[in-house]
Amino acid sequence: MAQPLVKKDDDRDDEAQIGTIHVNVELHWFTADYSPFLGIEKGAVLQEARVFNDPQLDPRRCSQVITKLLYLLNQGETFTKTEATEVFFSVTKLFQSRDIGLRRMVYLMIKELSPSADEVIIVTSSLMKDMTSKTDMYRANAIRVLCRITEGTLLTQIERYLKQAIVDKNPVVASAALVSGIHLLQTNPEIVKRWSNEVQEAVQSRAALVQFHALGLLHQRSKGVHGHSNLQIRQNDRLAVSKLVTSLTRGTVRSPLAQCLLIRYTSQVIRESAASTQAGDRPFYDFLEGCLRHKAEMVIFEAARAITELSGVTTRELTPAITVLQLFLSSSKPVLRFAAVRTLNKVAMTHPMAVTNCNIDMESLISDQNRSIATLAITTLLKTGNESSVDRLMKQITNFMSDIADEFKIVVVEAIRSLCLKFPLKYRSLWALGVLIYLMLHGEMPFGSWRESELDTFAKVAKGRLNLPETFSPDAVDLLTKLLEVDENTRLGSQGPESVKCHPWFDGIDWKGIMDRTFPVPHEITSRISQHLESHSEDYSSTLVSSFQNVEEFNIPEWLDDW
């Protein structure tokens, strides 16, 4: 009897594997780096734009075509006058669609096309209709577009609507009108000047963004606008800005964003008034210090940073700011830790002693997972720590130098440079002193010339194979052997320079006289210099030779510095 055809388990496994491979291949293709804008061409997209003229509009399809057009414009693609006009007229037909998403894309497209004055008239009626619509999203976007594409007489016609929008109950509409006013200050400042009452009312708004944008507009008006010298409020009018800050530092600003903006304006007034006020008298400093007790973290940090950046700031003024920054070092939020340690890093450049109280907290940041935070912590400790901690910190820096960005590598280099100036003995090599003494005594390098065999020379240096001539005195041999020791921990001078000065080879040297510039240069040295210059007179200019004619001048401190 014939057996029925039944798939074996092996066959099922093979099919399962084939199916798995097929799915994996498709998933790999789907998840690969794929751009929806790959291969887009202007001509093809302009052909697709004909869908805007279809009797039955497809909102999804129209939005996709507008997205492609916006992509081309933002990539620097230029449209001819005819192409731009055709696209603009086609886009205006989309106002008949009630799809909210498509309408937002239409607003963006009109702003990017920047139509001419003749074309603006066509779309103005639709935009003004949207500006008086009951849909807040339509109103806000219509205001942005109208203020972007219209000017002159037409702006005067819609000014009444803009004023109403500034004090609108909906914060989205009010912010749109205020931001549009900031942009209009550059082109039509006379119109924005007439909005004072409405903007002042918006500053008292409970909406965070409305108060923020209103304060920004007030400040821009107080400064004036470049190129409009006939304004009643002059450009960069310090008095107007000072009055604005004075009126707002009395506690009327509730928004954290607006408070941060006010702190920046306040620090600007302090900097500008520093030259005219007496030393130690800082207007509005109490306001900055009071902001350190704000409940919003962004306000606290902004105030602390403003205090640390004041010119001529004293340690007493820095103390409250550094205290709050120290608290941020132990925050669970990486952005706060980064902001605090970066600010303290800058303060350590000018006031290292004021930052030393934060050293313990910064020690814990060395092992932070964020390499940028760890780098800033180490470089700050290099500026504020003592000489005994330098070697340990330098070893930790080398562990992750390859993992940090170039920006922070520059910070590390600057920190090491400051460290060399602070602790000169850490970078002055006593091993190099031994090489120099050997060269002066024998006229050759102690480990041979690297030009002959670079690898052999490096091997001799690493193994300490030193060739000491028989002409060297026992004291010189002892000194050079100890200075050219491979192990830096046992090398002469590892415990300080005094052990080198006390070596018998330096007996008779008046170290104090050298430091005081009273020790004369030995006659043997000056005579050898003169002989060398005479034998190589052709290699030097006449000015240089004449300066060495009088050997007695070699003992003056100025010459000794150069020599």
- Residue 311's nearest CA partner among 355, 267, 261, 371 is 267
Token output for 62: 């129209």
Q: Is residue 99 part of a domain?
A: no
On whether both 438 and 420 belong to a single domain, the answer is no
Distance CA 18, CA 14 (A): 6
pTM beyond 0.85: no
The rounded percent of the chain whose pLDDT value lies above 90 is 23
Token output for 93: 């037909």
What string of H, E and C letters represents the secondary structure of 453-506? CHHHHHHHHHHCCCCCCCCCCHHHHHHHHHHCCCCCCCCCCCCCCHHHHCCHHH
Per-residue pLDDT tens digits for 132-181 = 888 888 999 999 998 888 877 788 888 889 999 999 999 999 999 999 99
The domain spanning residue 440 has which CATH number?
1.10.510.10
Token match 């807040």: residue? Answer: 136
Q: Sorting pLDDT into bands at 50, 70 and 90, what band is 405? A: confident
Token match 């460290």: residue? Answer: 419
On whether both 463 and 528 belong to a single domain, the answer is yes
Q: Sorting pLDDT into bands at 50, 70 and 90, what band is 337? A: very high
* Per-residue pLDDT, 550: 46
Better-scored residue on pLDDT, 192 or 419: 192
Which stretch of 73-87, 166-180, 256-270, 546-560 has the lowest confidence by average pLDDT?
546-560
The domain spanning residue 367 has which CATH number?
1.25.10
Token output for 392: 């340990």
Better-scored residue on pLDDT, 470 or 13: 470
Q: Is residue 332 part of a domain?
A: yes
Residue type, 472: F
In the listed set 408, 424, 440, which residue is the last one of a domain according to the structure?
Answer: 424
On whether both 523 and 490 belong to a single domain, the answer is yes
Distance CA 495, CA 159 (A): 79
Q: Is residue 384 part of a domain?
A: yes
Number of domains in the chain: 2
Long-range CB pairs of 301-305, under 8 A, 24+ apart, other chains included: 301/325, 301/328, 301/336, 301/339, 301/340, 301/343, 302/259, 302/260, 302/263, 302/264, 303/263, 304/343, 305/343
On whether both 461 and 532 belong to a single domain, the answer is yes
Highest mean pLDDT among 138-152, 244-258, 415-429, 444-458: 138-152
Token output for 227: 């190129």
- Contact call for residues 139 and 131 (beta carbons, < 8 A): yes
- Contact call for residues 168 and 176 (beta carbons, < 8 A): no
Q: Is residue 288 part of a domain?
A: no
- Residue 189's nearest CA partner among 144, 223, 239 is 223
- Contact call for residues 393 and 385 (beta carbons, < 8 A): yes
On whether both 414 and 447 belong to a single domain, the answer is no
On whether both 487 and 396 belong to a single domain, the answer is no
Q: Is residue 309 part of a domain?
A: no
Residue type, 494: S
Better-scored residue on pLDDT, 193 or 233: 193
Residue-wise DSSP of 244-256: HHHHHTTTT---H
- Residue 499's nearest CA partner among 478, 513, 473, 518 is 478
Average pLDDT over residues 369-382: 86
On whether both 434 and 418 belong to a single domain, the answer is no
Q: Is residue 359 part of a domain?
A: yes
In the listed set 396, 424, 452, which residue is the last one of a domain according to the structure?
Answer: 424
* Per-residue pLDDT, 450: 54
Q: Is residue 335 part of a domain?
A: yes
List the domain range (segments joined by +) for residue 358: 318-424
> 183-206 in b/e burial notation, b at 16+ Cβ within 10 A?
ebbeebbebbeebeebbeebbebe
On whether both 450 and 392 belong to a single domain, the answer is no
Q: What does pLDDT average to over the chain?
A: 78
Question: Taking 90 as the threshold, does the pLDDT of residue 62 lie above it?
Answer: yes
On whether both 390 and 413 belong to a single domain, the answer is yes
Q: Is residue 280 part of a domain?
A: no
Which stretch of 81-95, 216-230, 493-507 has the lowest confidence by average pLDDT?
216-230
On whether both 452 and 419 belong to a single domain, the answer is no
On whether both 442 and 390 belong to a single domain, the answer is no
On whether both 375 and 454 belong to a single domain, the answer is no
